[in-house]
Structure 1
Amino acid sequence: MEALQAIAKRKSTRSYTTEQISDRQLETLLFAADAAPKAGGAEGCVHISVIQNKELLRKLIQAAATAFCQGEGYTPFYGAPTLLVISGNNETSYGGAGANVACAGENVLIAATALGLGSVYLTGFLAAFSVAPELIKEVGVPEGFTPLAGVIVGNTAEKEFMEKEFKVGRYVNYVK
């Protein structure tokens, strides 16, 4: 699938199979994240924790449910078997950490679509870390980094993603 086609077909998928993504798919997603633009071109400005451990995913769900006063059945990860927690370096200035994380996350979303995988960019689950700060260490976020976003990825029954129609002018104005 070509890049523009993957961009046009990308969507937030909220239904996953229990089948784990392959190591090769994961490697491709991590390559895409690393290839993202970085504020100031700084190496080491983004850290990604790959979470595929069911027990740790359960703990994150439980903490997020507590943070949002949700009961049993709350599913912020929609059953996806892989969560990428994307953290930014606290020393990156001028809002660059957030931009770096967002660019890495978007690259993962597009690459996931190109691979036929479902994905969603998430921030709400981060509330889990305010309720259970010990999970930051358990997730593997290094000192000096802050979790700023996540991307869930997995196999989905929705194999055919419909291409969106781009309507020039809907969100664009021109100043010439």
Structure 2
Amino acid sequence: MDALQAIARRKSTRGFTAEQISDKQLETLLFAGDAAPKAGGTAGSVHISVIQNKELLGKLIKAAAQAFNEGEGFTPFYNAPTLLVLSGKNDTPYNGAGANVACAGENILIAATALGLGSVYLTGFLAAFSVAPELINEVGIPEGFTPLAGVITGYAAEKDFMEKEIKAGEYVNYVR
């Protein structure tokens, strides 16, 4: 699948099977995230924590549920087996940490689609870290980095990846 096909087929997946992605797929996703553009050309400005441990995923879900006053059954990760926590370096030039993380996340989403995986870009779960700040260490976020987003991925429970027509959207204007 070429890049434009992956962009056209990408969608947020809200249901996953329990099957874990392969190490080779994970390696490809991490390469895609690392290959993203970085504000100021700052290598090492994005850190990716790979969470595949069910116990730790459960702790993050519990803390996020507490932050949002949600009860049992709260599933911010839609049962995905892999969470990639994307953290930005606090001293990124031009305040580019958020942009760097967003670019890495988008690359990962497109790569996941190209690999036949489902994925979702997330930020809401980050509230878990305000309720349980010790989870920052458990997730492995290095000193000097702030968690800014996440991508969940795995095999989609529904395999409906309909290709969208690629065209300029209604929110585009031209000044020529």
Match of 1:42 in 2: 42
Superposed CA deviations along residues 59-92 of structure 1, whole A, max 9, x for unmatched, are 0000000000000000000000000000000001
Could you say what secondary structure the match of 2:149 adopts? strand
Match of 1:98 in 2: 98
Q: Say if 2:36 and 2:107, in contact at 8 Å, map to a contact too.
A: yes
Which runs of structure 1 show a deviation greater than 3 angstroms over 4 or more consecutive aligned residues? none
Match of 2:71 in 1: 71
Q: Say if 2:40 and 2:93, in contact at 8 Å, map to a contact too.
A: no
Aligned pairs (5 A) from 1:5-154: 5-154=5-154
Letter of the aligned partner of 2:31 in structure 1? F
Q: Say if 2:19 and 2:155, in contact at 8 Å, map to a contact too.
A: yes
Between 131-140 and 159-168, the greater mean CA deviation after superposition? 159-168
Between 140-149 and 159-168, the greater mean CA deviation after superposition? 159-168
Match of 1:163 in 2: 163
Could you say what secondary structure the match of 1:84 adopts? strand
Could you say what secondary structure the match of 2:93 adopts? coil
* Structure 2 spans left out of the alignment, 5+ residues: none
Superposed CA deviations along residues 36-56 of structure 1, whole A, max 9, x for unmatched, are 000111111000000000000
Query: What's the CA shift for 1:169?
Result: 4.6
Query: What's the CA shift for 1:158?
Result: 2.5
Structure 1 Cα separation of the partners of residues 133 and 169 of structure 2: 44
Letter of the aligned partner of 2:36 in structure 1? A
Letter of the aligned partner of 1:90 in structure 2? N
**How many percent of aligned residue pairs carry the same amino acid?**
81
Structure 2 Cα separation of the partners of residues 169 and 146 of structure 1: 33
Query: What's the CA shift for 1:156?
Result: 1.4
Under a length normalisation based on structure 2, what TM-score does the superposition of the two structures give?
0.98
Structure 1 Cα separation of the partners of residues 6 and 26 of structure 2: 17
CA 1:169–1:17 in structure 2 vs 1: closer, same or farther (change >3 Å)? closer
Under a length normalisation based on structure 1, what TM-score does the superposition of the two structures give?
0.98
Structure 2 Cα separation of the partners of residues 78 and 157 of structure 1: 10
Could you say what secondary structure the match of 1:110 adopts? helix
Q: Say if 2:39 and 2:94, in contact at 8 Å, map to a contact too.
A: no
Query: What's the CA shift for 1:160?
Result: 3.8
Query: What's the CA shift for 1:159?
Result: 2.6
Superposed CA deviations along residues 15-39 of structure 1, whole A, max 9, x for unmatched, are 1000000000000000000100001
Could you say what secondary structure the match of 2:128 adopts? helix
